[in-house]
Structure 1
């Protein structure tokens, strides 16, 4: 436990003696954003996209297979959040630290062999402090052992269409056959953001672990943009001597959430500066155009032999598209593609068809259209009365 106290004390001393400006200089003041061609000049690879629609705004060598360092932990957090969502895990569940997990070097939260910590605290340790030890402990909890979890990671990567990726561990420490691309990182970052509660961890600048102990451990987020860039609330930094300085970052303003990924930057100052410039470009040049709001009427479809003769379809989420600022809103057209009739029974959430958005003749986005309610199959008497009523009407 001595090393826990030493680490916490060192962090506290640093906080006392290092002025705020020392961190702030890593992020430039917002000015006139560059053109897209000037973005991320020092990055080995980069991509900028709209998180809601997945539209790529800018990319540079975005499919190059590169070591991701601790950005790997986005997948570790994603599988954890998925398990929480599916009820396989609770935030209050205790996670025991094995000797192997405690032996991880690099960035860590100094877990001791046999130490137990809640899933909630493990997520803090992974998201904020980039704890290699916490990542392995969490992996062993979910996968039985590290390799079992790595298999889950690669299965999820395949499910998300991450074609440039192969994982070999849950924390990104250097190892053979462990690689991904800026584009694939953006894909898994976008998937992680489907669980909005993750930004409680990735967007916090500081917190504590072991709060009830005599020696609480201070956490400071390795991603300084969450403090110094307006709207930034995640996601994950990374560094190894091979990968250089990496970052998958997200920020939201006026309904537009963007994801910026850079790999192979020369230092943290350049990394943060170039990601900030990518955000500046996105927010100054683009906006979200609302097509339908939740609850808006979309259309209706006949239901064969249903307890209701027709189903009214409404938007179950905001339907929006990315558009250039200053563009013409009427250049978008929408097309509802649904059958003339469907058969009962219909379950709530069943996909009935799709809404396709075009810009000119180019398809820019499509949304699934789902049934908002359940409609059972009607009995013969109800159908007889309906037929009779229709005859007389």
Structure 2
């Protein structure tokens, strides 16, 4: 049902003026975080080198390891010779130097530190090679079909490719399920090593774009200039992906153009019925009623339509046990004028088993006793 709803949303949205928008980058994509709706795309499945935007996956796996209890922000990591040999963007770790996960995440998110990205991967998986296997496995799980990772950093390597669409998928997974990453990705300037190491964010949008929340820059001679830019306004967060732009300045201009288009054209509307959904009677159940729930919480709409919504509920008047959580009870239809924008399922909120003969007998005896 979620796929059907996503298709309906996409069909409505892609019929708008997105075709009139363009960017200089040969590959680009704009996605809304909550629904995953693509609002603009250009060469979105072209397999290109992502440079340090690769580190979105490195950061995602680090955050998942923290959630799983494998790491904590206070875990101390000792830098290996391999991690210290990376070159490129780095904080110049020395072999044997110790920093916490918190400090290394900050270095990766703010200055794209290759040495810290590899050190995190080694801590999680034992080696960078094993960590890259996890990166590719996670990519497959997310449906990143254009992607093959060869390292944890995005440093040039044969066959290390992804697409704007795939970058949006992993960026969405990170910011949707790990919002705490913002405490790193929104840093403009900071320090490490008790103030000895200065950090300035490679993502200039953090300072100069209203609502910027992240996420990751990248550039090499082959990849040129890449960016996964996230920003939030009025409760809606957008992901703008730019690949292979000609200059650093142009990637930020292209990202701003996509974000400005998204924020000026669309709104994220909370989906609720006009009235409280009353419990539905359950026949032959272990309880007398079940509470309907609306699974879909938000709907992405053109701003012109968001202010003219009507909501109509159609729902069954009773159900017969047994019922399972997620069984259909009805539909919430959201319309703008005569146009139906979405038909959202109303579902059973909890399991209700069928009453047994012994339970029914006890219920009848209790009713008779109370009546007497």
TM-score range, shorter chain: 0.7 to 0.9
Distance 2:278 2:294 in 1: 7
Distance 1:298 1:156 in 2: 41
The answer for the alignment partner of 2:170 in structure 1 is 188
Which secondary structure state, in structure 1, belongs to the residue aligned with residue 254 of structure 2?
Answer: helix
The answer for the alignment partner of 2:214 in structure 1 is 234
Give the superposition deviation at 1:39. Answer: 3.9
Query: Structure 1 pair 168/288, CA: closer, same or farther in 2 (3 Å)?
Result: same
The answer for the alignment partner of 2:291 in structure 1 is 312
Give the superposition deviation at 1:366. Answer: 6.3
The answer for the alignment partner of 1:386 in structure 2 is 363
Which secondary structure state, in structure 2, belongs to the residue aligned with residue 292 of structure 1?
Answer: coil
Which secondary structure state, in structure 2, belongs to the residue aligned with residue 385 of structure 1?
Answer: helix
Give the superposition deviation at 1:47. Answer: 0.3
TM-score with structure 2 setting the length = 0.82
Give the superposition deviation at 1:326. Answer: 1.0
Q: Cα deviation per residue 1:136-183 (whole Å; 9 max; x = unaligned)?
A: 000001111111111111111111111111111111000011111000
Matched, 1:202 2:182: no
Q: Which runs of no fewer than 5 residues in structure 2 stay unpaired?
A: 1-16
The answer for the alignment partner of 1:274 in structure 2 is 254
Give the superposition deviation at 1:292. Answer: 2.4
Q: Cα deviation per residue 1:11-57 (whole Å; 9 max; x = unaligned)?
A: xxxxxxxxxxxxxxxxxxxxxxxx63454532020000111101111
Report how many aligned residue pairs link the two structures.
Answer: 348
The answer for the alignment partner of 2:82 in structure 1 is 100
What is the correspondence of 1:120-131 to structure 2 with a 5 Å cutoff? Answer: 120-131=102-113
Q: Which moved more, 1:143-152 or 1:363-372?
A: 363-372
Q: Which moved more, 1:200-209 or 1:35-44?
A: 35-44
- Do the aligned partners of 1:296 and 1:315 also contact (CA within 8 Å) in 2? no
TM-score with structure 1 setting the length = 0.78
Matched, 1:155 2:137: yes
Distance 2:179 2:160 in 1: 28
- Do the aligned partners of 2:25 and 2:243 also contact (CA within 8 Å) in 1? yes
Q: Cα deviation per residue 1:258-286 (whole Å; 9 max; x = unaligned)?
A: 11000001111111111111111111111
Q: 1:330 aligns with which of 309, 312, 315?
A: 309
Please, what is the CA RMSD of the aligned residues? 3.4
The answer for the alignment partner of 1:47 in structure 2 is 29
- Do the aligned partners of 1:299 and 1:314 also contact (CA within 8 Å) in 2? no
Q: Cα deviation per residue 1:90-131 (whole Å; 9 max; x = unaligned)?
A: 111111211000111100011111111111111101111101
- Do the aligned partners of 1:319 and 1:367 also contact (CA within 8 Å) in 2? no
Which secondary structure state, in structure 1, belongs to the residue aligned with residue 121 of structure 2?
Answer: helix
Query: Structure 1 pair 330/39, CA: closer, same or farther in 2 (3 Å)?
Result: closer
Distance 2:314 2:63 in 1: 35
Which secondary structure state, in structure 2, belongs to the residue aligned with residue 128 of structure 1?
Answer: helix
Distance 2:196 2:343 in 1: 48
Distance 1:217 1:370 in 2: 55
